[in-house]
């Protein structure tokens, strides 16, 4: 949400954090792909990893869209909620692929 949403309150703490650069986003994406590769090498199911790589960002973007509609941007709570929703999506994808 930090990359795509403006702060909900221009004078709030979220406004002081700033936005990640394209380089930072690229590094974060690369780390995700490297970790997925390591997980695949350790035997996690490829279907679960693929679903996780798709569902986690979709869940975060969905929550970001909801925050934009409801409160006009992001706050620290929105950022934390996006992390939690993304993690839940990853765990559900891995469980679904192993069931």
Confidence label for 40 from pLDDT (cuts 50, 70 and 90)? very high
Q: Quick one: which of 54, 76, 56 has its CA closest to 5?
A: 76
CA distances from 12 to 2, 26, 36, 76, 77 (A): 14, 27, 35, 10, 12
How confident is residue 48, by pLDDT bands cut at 50, 70 and 90? very high
């Amino acid at each position: 949400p930090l990359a795509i949403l403006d702060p909900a309150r221009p004078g709030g703490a979220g406004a002081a954090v700033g936005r990640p650069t394209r380089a930072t986003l690229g590094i974060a994406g690369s780390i995700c792909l490297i970790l997925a590769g390591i997980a695949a090498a350790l035997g996690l199911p490829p279907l679960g990893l693929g679903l996780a790589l798709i569902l986690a960002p979709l869940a975060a973007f969905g929550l970001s869209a909801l925050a934009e509609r409801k409160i006009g941007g992001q706050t620290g709570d929105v950022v934390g909620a996006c992390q939690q929703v993304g993690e839940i999506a990853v765990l559900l994808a891995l469980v679904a692929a192993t069931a």
